[in-house]
Amino acid sequence: MADSLVIVESPAKAKTISKYLGRGYIVKASMGHVRDLPKSQLGVDVEQDFQPKYITVRGKGDVMKQLKDAKKRVKRVYLAADPDREGEAIAWHLANSLNIDPNESCRVVFREITKQAVKDAFKQPRPINMDLVNAQQARRILDRLVGYGISPLLWKKVKRGLSAGRVQSIAVKLVIDREKEIRNFKPEEYWTVTAHLSTGKETIEAQFYGYENKKTELKKEADVEKLLAAIKGKRFIVSDVRLTERKRNPSPPFITSTLQQEAARKLNFRPQKTMAIAQQLYEGIELGKAGSVGLITYMRTDSTRISDTAKEEAKNYIRKTYGDNYVSKGSKGAAKKANSQDAHEAVRPSSVLRTPAEVKDYLKRDQFRLYKLIWERFVASQMAPAILDAVTADIQAGIATFRATGSKIKFQGFMKVYIEGTDEKKQEEEKFLPALEPKQTLTKKKIDPKQHFTQPPPRYTEARLVKTLEEKGIGRPSTYAPTLDTIQKRGYVLMEDKRFVPSELGEIVLAMMEEFFPEILDVTFTAHMEEDLDQVEEGQIDWVKLLAEFYKPFRSRLSVAEEEMAEVEIADEESDEVCEKCGKVMVYKHGRFGKFLACSGFPDCRNTKAIVKSTGVTCPVCHEGEVVERKSKKNRLFYGCTRYPECDFVSWDKPVPRPCPRCKGLLVEKKKKKETFIVCTKCDYEEEKN
């Protein structure tokens, strides 16, 4: 008969842990939080030291009954929620609901779900850490005060269903500020001049550098004409060749934000999806005879620290698989950041010996792809730097200096396993230069001047916005994914070509927030608040005092806004479309997945239509309809015929409005390794998109 009850959050985690603990333990799942603030009211007594009014979460009555019944049958209860503030708070709420003294050694913490880690954790139970609990309570109450203070104002002054929050407001502000930069951007002209030169056997490209070895910019066409006149009839002579060896170090293992960023770049995962799959890998996957195994360490972390045991296992694996020269000779791991909690390890495989190839058959496709990414990043972080030979050649043509550069990988090091992705379109590639000697004369093949214009800063992708929030100290690992989801659900931002664009609603709400609640949108203020919450966790700041210092001026601002904030009516933008059901004009509205058409006769007529975007391509199947851009129920772009359902043509690839030059078939755009090609759907014709 079992003499101990262990409570975790999820059934998957319960199943994995139960296998490790054996018959002496009953393992049950609380299914997340069992108590929370009520949704129908503020639930915080601001006059009595911000005391929260917790109630049992709706739908958790049966769960609590099962846990109470299980508790009666055992001598001892262990609370084994996740190893962070949220997990500590869940444990505290469970202790209160089950009449467990939080000062008893009832709390068990492990950061990876492996047999050894779990058994070691149960040897060292501890009391509930009230500093961690108070940090979570302070954040929850702070967000409740802001949300339940400002949201009703927005409902009253703008429209129902809106919300405001500390982190989400900053995220919206970042998107809108970037859009303003783009709108105000004034492109500047500049030119490049490339010399195509021959050694007699090979051709190289050299870019104009400057005059007499001093860097010179070509800002207008007249500058180019001056350069062309200066090099006319001149010989191109190699003046200097420099060979340098440079090291390229591997990236540290993943933290939450970098995992979300890299999964977005390489796997096209949204942050919410990344975290959901990582949770599955952490809690346990059935590996045949081995049973349920936690494949990765805890995925909500801002620390790149890894255990000595994990380092040693990784280095032994690298030594055996690739050779001793591939093993890092130093300690890999980035320095702790100023705002890092450093509560637990980086995201890594629980055992590097479980290679992606060995577990592939047990994982779903997306689980495998994410596990492979985490495994490769961790292994690479423990490998030796890559060594590259870089060559720079200066070439004189009269007083003009041209420069050719090239690099060659001398030793792959960590690059044999993994190379970090970038937000840019092109990855860094090897570029070879033939052997060149000083005073060597090169033959001019062609001089190629090109006009360019500076580009505005890019709009935020989800990965880039997560990175910016992290760099500015806004939010914490657990907040990034839900924040990005919320600002889209509220209609404050839209996604266009996988980048954030502010909506009219978002700009209106932000302007009102900036006028009446500037501190909520102050990046420095919000980042400082995160630091204060960290100090509550460390027992250095009293959480009630922290809330009091924030709430007094905030309440004053609420009173002013209640009186002075003007009501705003967002008029619907009329379209040229007529509702086929009632004949009224259709208007543009904003939804979770962007703009759509709705009948202006709502609520009498509830007709809605997706906005279709023309591609200028005649349907290749029926030759009558037009191919238009549409969105699937999962918000994925596809292309279909306007005569659907009579014609069922559909394509996930964007059609090109010209026929194949070989067979007159349909051309579409396809991406290959971040490059876009135009390929024919009938023959093997292919060209690179400019």
The residues assigned a catalytic role are 298
Decide if 551 contacts 557 (C-beta within 8 A). Answer: no
Q: What is the C-alpha separation between 222 and 615, in angstroms, rounded? A: 39
Strand order of the β-sheet with 675-680 is 655-659, 666-672, 675-680, 686-688
Decide if 296 contacts 281 (C-beta within 8 A). Answer: yes
DSSP-assigned states of every residue in 71-128: HHT-SEEEE---SSHHHHHHHHHHHHHTT--TTSS-B---SB-SHHHHHHHHTS-B--
Residue 668 to residues 70, 635, 640, 648, 672, Cα–Cα distance (Å): 61, 20, 13, 18, 13
Decide if 568 contacts 157 (C-beta within 8 A). Answer: yes
Decide if 407 contacts 431 (C-beta within 8 A). Answer: yes
Q: What is the C-alpha separation between 591 and 588, in angstroms, rounded? A: 10
Decide if 182 contacts 191 (C-beta within 8 A). Answer: no
Q: Which residues contact 368 (CB under 8 A, 6 or more apart)?
A: 356, 359, 360
- CA triplet 140, 145, 149: central angle to 5 degrees? 145
DSSP-assigned states of every residue in 317-343: HHHHHH-GGGB-SS---PPPPTT----
Decide if 143 contacts 168 (C-beta within 8 A). Answer: no
β-pairing, 613-618 with 686-688?
unpaired
Q: Other CB atoms closer than 10 Å to residue 189's CB: what's the count?
A: 13
353 — alpha (psi -120 to 50), left (phi > 0) or beta?
alpha
Residue 41 to residues 144, 147, 164, Cα–Cα distance (Å): 10, 11, 16
Burial of 689 (0-12, 13-18, 19+ CB in 10 A): exposed
Q: What is the C-alpha separation between 674 and 247, in angstroms, rounded? A: 25
Residue in 399, 398, 391 with CA at minimum distance from that of residue 204: 391
Spacing of C-alpha 413 from chain mean position: 27
Q: Which residues contact 280 (CB under 8 A, 6 or more apart)?
A: 12, 367
Strand order of the β-sheet with 613-618 is 613-618, 626-631, 637-641, 650-651
- 71 forms beta bridges with none
Q: What is the C-alpha separation between 683 and 666, in angstroms, rounded? A: 10
Would you state the structure tokens that stand for residue 79, as one six-digit string?
């609370």
